[in-house]
Structure 1
Amino acid sequence: MRKKYPRIPYVLAAILVLASVFYMLPYYVSKPGLAKELEPIIEVEGGYDEEGSFMLTTVRMGRANIYTYLIASFSKYQEIYSMKDILRPNESEQEYNKKQLHLMEGSKASAIEAAYKKAGIPVEYRYKGVYVMEVVPGMPAEGKLEVGDRLLKVDGKILKSRDELLDYLAGKKAGETVKLTFTRGNKEQSANLELQAFKNDPKRAGIGIAPIDDKEIIVDPKVNIKTDEIGGPSAGLMFALEIYNQLTEDDLTKGYEIAGTGTLSEGMVGPIGGIEQKIVAADKAGADIFFAPNEKGAKNSNYRAAVKTGKDIGTKMKIVPVDTFDEAVAYLEKLKPEK
């Protein structure tokens, strides 16, 4: 009796198909994500309930394989980006993700500040150190500091802000050495760095990092925002609206499903990427209203792109331009309740 063997061409084809799924191309693909209700994500102690909901819109992004690249090539609301468009030179995906998560933390703080101040409730800050957002290749910090490190001291002096660090370094010359004390994870470490002249400005010297203030906001009543692994700064406006709504007795939602996007800094709404994809996500989720950054009426504003996409997909959402958090609140205050 003859033995039956699997046909080799089919086996090889199966192996090639499997391998192609896991072989990553030097591109990223972004596509419409979800529109998530914020009430389950944000909880203000003793906060008020709402009839409708505020929604956070997201964009899904990941490395492309052959199939996702081809699908994105023929999809109107999927975008393809080269790695250099996403990652800085010598930046790893891990460093990029750390930055995005920290930007989300900043987004939360800005939202809390705006909402509590609008509600007439004082806020306080506790400085945790100076956060390293970027390490410049070829400069002294490379190999000694990492994205995500928190700088606590310079030459034994406790740092209370990013500006203190920059002012201290500005008083040094190329060739001088500073000792930095920092935490990485939960471990305290130190490193000696010799300042180096900047290539584009040889009269100035530095260590080659992009630092920002790392601070914790303290409020009463307390607020908890559970974002898990969601990164980026674009949720600021919608976070602030949800927090403010829970702090105040009058329900701003008035029974509507309200989506939107926009960074928030000192009450000002800023532009974001992927506005077209977020419009698609919000429309699929059944949103009634969508707040879009107006950028003071600029011709290429997020708002104009949102309106164009809205017409293209035939959405029934009301797309509303906003430049400030106060404008968004004022619009909702004048809104007639959903019937």
Structure 2
Amino acid sequence: MSRKASISLSILAAVLLMASALYYLPYYVSKPGMAKELEPIIEVEGGYEEEGSFMLTTVRMGRANIYSYIIAKMSKYQELYPVEDIRAENESDEEYNIRQLHMMDNSKTVAIEVAYKKAGIPVEYNYKGVYVLRIMEGMPAEGKLMPGDLVFEVDGNEFESSDDFIAYISSKKPGDIVQLAYKRNGKTNNVEVPLKALDDGSERPVVGIQLVDDKEIDVDPDVTVHSEEIGGPSAGLMFSLEIYNQLIEEDLTKGYEIAGTGTMSSDGTVGRIGGIQQKVVAADKAGAEIFFAPFEKGAKGSNYEEAMIAAKDIKTKMKIVPVDTFEEAVSYLENLNKKSS
């Protein structure tokens, strides 16, 4: 083979390699992420310090190309998920990311509420409006609103909940025009939107957005949570524990490195999350000594059961602790002996 032909083949191979790396398959791949200490992320004004630490755990999630697909197939703690299991139908990358970040924001808000109530400190909410998660294709809001917009007035009227907003829109007729005031990137805008009948036989007029309430919690002392690059709701339990620990004089860490995962409801219930085994791996690598896992009331295939399988497989010395509620996690820590020096 001539030198020229050899160079041409090398260039072609490089181009094909780059092209295949940029071609995404209809799968997401997830792998163990990190265990991140929460004290630098969460700051309660005048809060108490701790000897040990609470850590949130994450998984790394991204679209699979041919190479990451093959690696995931060969790796024990990498998982493949069809796109439809991760993203809603017709949901764009932007809408998916905004949904994840909103779930994180909601997780932080609920964690603050649970922790402050447990500490006996009053909690109040300030309603801000409705947060746009998605724009329905072919509906009036398309091209007028964007995911991430905050709608706070309709026809010059403020509203107290998403139910109030929906009720007002439902009182109109298809073809009626409503004026929405919204905030985008800190700037206030107004837009007129003609209502359209929902295509489900009900003839109900809609704007064509998927929305959720956007509320701001008001507490004293103030608390700041820096989690801009982390999405999803799974850090709720660990957020709650870190915030509560800064509010009270007793140090619940007792000098231990404590990781865990689980969603948090306003009643203190700890909920199931995805990627529990990958989070166990991440926590073990970070040197965690205790790991809280959702028990799901002992259900078969619970997060706790999955976590125990992974813990045994990687031969970790980390103790896996099952919890159904925030109270159970606090009680476990209160009864924990202080770590010896």
For the structure 1 residues 196 and 119, does the alpha-carbon distance in structure 2 shift closer, same or farther, using more than 3 Å as the test?
A: same
**2:296, 2:145 → 1: CA distance?**
36
Residues 1-339 of structure 1: matches in 2 within 5 Å? 7-202=7-202, 204-266=204-266, 267-339=268-340
C-alpha distance in structure 1 between counterparts of 2:25 and 2:336, whole Å:
48
* TM-score, normalised relative to structure 2: 0.92
Report the Cα offset of residue 201 of structure 1: 5.0
Quote the Cα distance in structure 2 between the aligned partners of 1:8 and 1:84. Answer: 40
Q: Which moved more, 1:203-212 or 1:41-50?
A: 203-212
Matched-pair contact (CA < 8 Å) for 1:59–1:274 = yes
Q: Deviations over 1:222-264 (max 9, x none)?
A: 2221113111111111011001111111110111111111111
Q: Is the 8 A contact 1:151 1:159 kept in 2?
A: no
Q: Deviations over 1:24-68 (max 9, x none)?
A: 333221101001111111111221111111111001011222211
Superposition deviation, residue 270 in structure 1: 1.4
Q: How far 1:296 sits from its partner (Å)?
A: 2.5
* Unpaired segments ≥5 residues, structure 1: none
* Contact 2:57 2:279 (C-alpha < 8 Å) held by counterparts: yes
CA 1:332–1:88 in structure 2 vs 1: closer, same or farther (change >3 Å)? Answer: same
Structure 1 residue 20: deviation in Å?
3.1
Q: Percent identity?
A: 63
Inter-partner Cα distance in structure 2 for 1:313 and 1:128: 46
* Displacement after TM superposition at 1:203 (Å): 5.4
Alpha-carbon distance in 2 for matches of 1:211, 1:228: 21
Paired residue secondary structure (1:7): helix
Separation (CA, whole Å) in 1 of partners of 2:209 and 2:301: 32
Contact 1:130 / 1:159 at 8 angstroms: preserved in 2?
A: no
Q: Contact conserved, 1:154 with 1:181, CA < 8 A, in 2? A: yes
Q: Matches of 2:304 and 2:221 in 1, distance apart? A: 34
1:41 is matched by which residue type in structure 2? Answer: I
Deviates more, 1:173-182 or 1:252-261: 173-182
Q: For residue 217 of structure 1, give the secondary structure of its aligned residue in structure 2.
A: strand
- Alignment partner of 1:46: what SS? coil
Alpha-carbon distance in 1 for matches of 2:122, 2:203: 43
Q: Is the 8 A contact 1:51 1:251 kept in 2?
A: yes
SS of the aligned residue for 1:259 comes to: strand
Range that drifts further, 122-131 or 196-205 = 196-205
Measured after TM superposition, the shift of residue 4 of structure 1 is 7.2
8 Å CA contact 2:257, 2:289 repeated in 1: yes
Specify the SS of the correspondent of 1:71: helix
Measure, in 2, the Cα distance between the counterparts of 1:335 and 1:203.
59
Q: CA deviation at 1:221?
A: 1.7
Counterparts of 2:297 and 2:173 in 1: how far apart (Å)?
Answer: 42
Secondary structure of the equivalent of 1:157?
Answer: coil
Residue identity in the other structure for 1:287:
A
Closer/same/farther in 2, CA of residues 139 and 260 from structure 1, 3 Å limit: same
Question: CA contact under 8 A between 2:29 and 2:69: conserved in structure 1?
Answer: yes
Q: Are 2:94 and 2:147, in contact at CA under 8 Å, matched by a contact in 1?
A: no
